[in-house]
Amino acid sequence: MELAPQTAQSHPDLCVSFDEWTRGRKIQSIGTNAGAERLPFQGWHHFKEAFAPEVIARAVNESERDVRSCLDPFGGSGTTALACQFLGVEPTTIEVNPYLGDLIEAKLTSYDADDLALDLARVVRATNARRRGSLARFKHAPPTFIQSADQDRWVFNRNVAERIACHLDAIDELARPAHRRLFKAMLGGMLISVSNVIINGKGRRYRSNWQDREVFPRSVDEQFEERSRQAIDEIHAHRMRRHRGYELLRGDCIEKIASSKPVDLAVFSPPYPNSFDYTDVYNIELWMLGHLGDKDANRDLRMSTLCSHVQIKRQFSPAPKGSQRLNLALSQLRKVKADLWSPWIPEMVGGYFHDMQQVMAGLHGRLNPRGEIWAVVGDSRYAGVRIQVAKILADLAAPMGFEVVKNEPFRSMRSSAQQGGQQELDETLVVLRKTR
């Protein structure tokens, strides 16, 4: 955990407002994949499914309790915490993925833009003085990551990987940890663009005709410098936020909620129970930036995420009691088990709601009286059996001491190709208020 100074602005009229940050835009949906214009800081890494920051503004404005502090147990892209800073709300964020934790902290940190520009110049000079970096930096990464004679496919061409290593070497020489974190985040956000793969909703796949696609080392230099300069411009233009402090807790959200401070509000979007391991989306950044030292570290990280996938063998916790909808869905899944692409899907679904019940119970203990949870959640479907996530969570929340304020579907998501890909799964805003 690292705490930034809790510094409020002495001249609030000079602060960059939330509306100035979002440019007063009008969006079609407050949910994920809203399709609105890209905002400052959102271009640091592409998040296809990041929900709109207007969710946080709406939560702060509509909450019964005056909101001075907010918790996001699934930090992700950092949308909640960043929006809170512009709204003048003290943010606390929990994130289990170390790459995403660094990216979030890079967005929330206060900097001197002139000092950043000087350090960027140092990195550029250092990389220009080197022809290549040592591939020994990536020795723990999977063998298919770097081009070699004994592999028939690879994520990075050898000369590109050497140039990435060169940038990492130069960044490591900087004196300020916050600057090293920021520039590594900039490098991480462009890794896919100089690789032989693309990332889609279900993980990583090789580009069409990737063998014929030539990526030059200078592309690494040009993209890194351009992205870093753009980030410094955004940092300078938005440095006067109404709240410049933050608290970032790294690790399993269920464990970390218990050690977080009391808050007035919780706003988040958890992983959906769609059997997909979200760690896979950031596998390249995790390995290339040195967040994973070996296979055991990778497995430990995947095991510490919410129970929303079946890609790794694990002991699934039993499904919670208290929801007839959940009981019916699990019963139906067991009846069609032979038609499921994984026999562990019923256990995964039960384990998912066990984990989410633990999250809600932890939040109940940290919310101040009449505090609220605003959660963007999504349904899933397996062999025709629909998992009504929002309604099941509402069922489980009532015995804990929550009342359901809203259960508001706002977007129809496309189901997986395995289920036909139709637009038939609700994405829903669930609002719960602590009553006792």
Tokens of 419: 């289920």
Of all residues in the chain, the percent with pLDDT exceeding 70 is 91
For CATH 3.40.50.150, list the domain ranges present in the chain: 2-96+244-434
Q: Report the pLDDT value the prediction gives residue 372, as an integer from 0 to 100.
A: 98
- Using an 8 Å Cβ cutoff, are 171 and 187 in contact? yes
Q: What is the DSSP letter of 158?
A: H
Q: Give residue 76's region: left, alpha or beta (phi > 0; psi -120 to 50).
A: left
Q: Report the pLDDT value the prediction gives residue 63, as an integer from 0 to 100.
A: 98
pLDDT tens sequence across 49-71: 678 999 999 999 999 999 999 99
pLDDT tens sequence across 110-134: 999 999 999 999 999 999 998 889 9
- Using an 8 Å Cβ cutoff, are 26 and 35 in contact? no
Tokens of 167: 């940038």
pLDDT of 9 strictly over 70? no
Question: How far, in whole angstroms, is CA 163 from its chain's centroid?
Answer: 27
pLDDT tens sequence across 225-236: 999 999 999 999
CATH superfamily of 2-96+244-434: Vaccinia Virus protein VP39 (3.40.50.150)
At residue 4 the predicted structure's pLDDT band, cuts being 50, 70 and 90, is very low
- Using an 8 Å Cβ cutoff, are 361 and 353 in contact? no
Half-sphere exposure of 147 (CA within 13 A, CB side): 13
Determine which helix (DSSP H) or strand (DSSP E) holds 409, and give its type and residue range.
strand 402-414
The lowest-confidence range among 31-40, 316-325, 329-338 is: 31-40
